[in-house]
Amino acid sequence: MAPSDEKPTDNPPAAGEGSKQEKEVKEAVSGLNPQQLKELLALNPALVQEVAQASGITNPTPDQAADLLKNMSMSDIMTGMAADGKGVKDMASYKFWQTQPVPKFGEDDKKAKEGPLRLQKVEEIEKSPAPLLSGFEWVEIDLKSDEEMKEVYELLNGHYVEDVDSTFRFNYSPSILRWAMMAPGWDKKYHVGIRASQSRKLVAFISAIPVHIRVRDNVITCSEVNFLCIHKKLRNKRLAPILIKEITRVSNLNSVWQGLYTAGVVLPRPVSTCRYYHRPLDWQKLWECGFSYLPPGSKPQYQVHKYALPSKTATKGLREMEVKDLDDVVSLQKRYSSRFEIAPEMTKEEAHHWLIPKADASGEQAVWSYVVEESGKVTDFFSFYCVESSVINNPKHKVVRVAYLFYYGSKTGLVEPFNKDNLKKRLNELIGDALILAKKHKFDVFNALTLMDNGMFLEQQKFAAGDGTLHYYLFNYRANAISGGLDANQKLDSTLQSGVGLVLP
Residues 6+ positions from 285 with CB-CB distance below 8 Å: 397, 400, 444
Catalytic residue of the set 270, 280, 344, 505: 505
CATH class for the domain made up of 118-260: alpha beta
What global pTM score does this model have? 0.83
**What CATH topology corresponds to 272-478?**
Aminopeptidase (3.40.630)
Quick one: CA dihedral 418, 420, 423, 425, positive or negative?
negative
- Indicate the average pLDDT of the chain: 85
- State yes or no: pLDDT of 254 exceeds 60: yes
When pLDDT is cut at 50, 70 and 90, the band that residue 308 belongs to is very high
Give, in order, the Cα–Cα distances in Å from 10 to each of 7, 235, 239. Answer: 10, 5, 9
| Cα separation, 411 vs 102, whole angstroms | 37
Listing DSSP states for 469-481 in one string gives EEEEEEET-B---
Beta bridge partners of 314: none
- State yes or no: pLDDT of 22 exceeds 70: no
Nearest to 96 by CA among 485, 475, 450, 484: 475
Lowest mean pLDDT among 19-33, 268-282, 425-439, 479-493: 19-33
Residues 6+ positions from 308 with CB-CB distance below 8 Å: none
Dump pLDDT digits (tens) for 336-371: 999 999 999 999 999 999 999 999 888 899 999 999
Residues 6+ positions from 1 with CB-CB distance below 8 Å: 208, 223, 225, 244, 247, 248, 251, 259, 260, 261, 475
pLDDT attached to residue 171: 82
Q: What's the average model confidence in pLDDT over 416-428?
A: 97
Residue 505 is among the residues annotated as catalytic for this protein = yes
Domain layout of the chain by residue ranges: 118-260, 272-478
Whether residue 321 contacts residue 329, with contact meaning beta carbons closer than 8 Å, is answered with yes
